[in-house]
Amino acid sequence: MRPVIGLTAYVEPARWAAWHTDATLLHTWYPEAVTRCGGIPVLLPPQQDAATELVERVDALILTGGPDIAATMYGQEPHSANDRPRHMRDEFEVALYRTARDEGKPVLGICRGLQVMAVAEGGYLTQHLPDVTDLEHKSASEPFADHLARFMPGSLAHRLLGESLQVNSRHHQAVADPGRLVVTGLAEDDTVEACEAEGASFALGVQWHPEHGGDVRLFQALIAAASS
C-alpha cells in the first residue's frame, strides 16, 4: 500500500468561480511531488485539538511553506516587516511536529516548515534577513532567489543531496537558534539551510523549496522512510 503523507495547508482568502471566501489551499507542487514519488497526499488545514488523531492516521508529515511564524511563539516582539500572524496555524503545526516526533513518524519541513521545527524544539528565528546579510534570500522581481547551500558530512542532507546544491529561496526569515535540532546545511552567508533532529530516523527541515522543480530526492527519501 502507498504511504499516506499529511501536508499542512493554508487557510487564506481566495477567489474562484462565484466564490470569494476563506479557503483551504496549497500549491499543487507539493501533492504532485508526493504522488510522483509514490505517496498519497492528504491536506491538513489548521484546526484545534486534532494533532494526535491526525498523526495517527498518516505515515509521514510534510510541514509546508507559508507566512511568517508569529514572533510571540518564540518570545519576541514582531519585526515591522513580518506577515500578519496566523496563530491557529502556528500552534497546529507545532503540535503536529511534536506529536510526529513522539510517534516516530518521518517529518520533512520546507521553508516555514523548517522554522516550525526549530521553534517547536525551543529555538528562535532571525526575523528579517536583510538586517543581517546582503545575500538575497527573497527576490523583489522573481519568484525565487538562487544561491548555494552546503551540507555537513555525515548528515542526512549530505547523504541525500551531496556536498552542495544550488537552491531556490523565498524567505525573509531564517533559523537563528535551532533549539534541540542540529544544523546540517548553511548558505554562502552562513544562514541556516537545513536542520535535523538528532536520533530520528527521518526528521529533516530545509529552508528552500524542493517541491518546485524536478529534484524530488527529499520526497523520495521521506516516502521510503514512511514505507519502511
Instruction: Going residue by residue through the chain, which has 228 residues, state the pLDDT in tens, using 9 for 90 and above.
Output: 999 999 999 999 999 999 999 999 999 999 999 999 999 999 999 999 999 999 999 999 999 999 999 999 999 999 999 999 999 999 999 999 999 999 999 999 999 999 999 999 999 999 999 999 999 999 988 999 999 999 999 999 999 999 999 999 999 999 999 999 999 999 999 999 999 999 999 999 999 999 998 899 999 999 999 998
The separation between the first and the last C-alpha atoms of the chain, rounded to the nearest angstrom, is 11
Q: What is the H or E stretch that residue 221 is in?
A: helix 217-227
Which pLDDT score is estimated for 21? Answer: 97
The angle formed by the CA atoms of residues 124, 102 and 122, to the nearest 5 degrees, is 15
Phi and psi, residue 23, nearest 5°: -140, 150
Cβ atoms of residues 81 and 71 within 8 Å? no
Q: Are 203 and 97 in contact (CB under 8 A)?
A: no
Give pLDDT, residue 137.
97
Catalytic residues: 111, 209, 211
pLDDT, residue 128, reads 98
Q: Kindly give the pairing relationship between strand 4-8 and strand 60-63.
A: parallel
> 76 CB contacts (<8 Å, ≥6 apart)?
124, 127
Asked if CATH classification 3.40.50.10320 holds for the domain at 4-227, the reply, yes or no, is no
Q: 178 phi and psi, to 5 degrees? A: -80, 0
Query: Three-class SS of residue 91?
Result: helix
Contacts within 8 Å (CB) and 24+ apart, 158-166:
158/184, 160/217, 160/218, 160/221, 161/217, 161/218
CA–CA distance, 46 with 21 (Å, rounded to integer)? 16
| Grid cell at residue 218 | 527529499
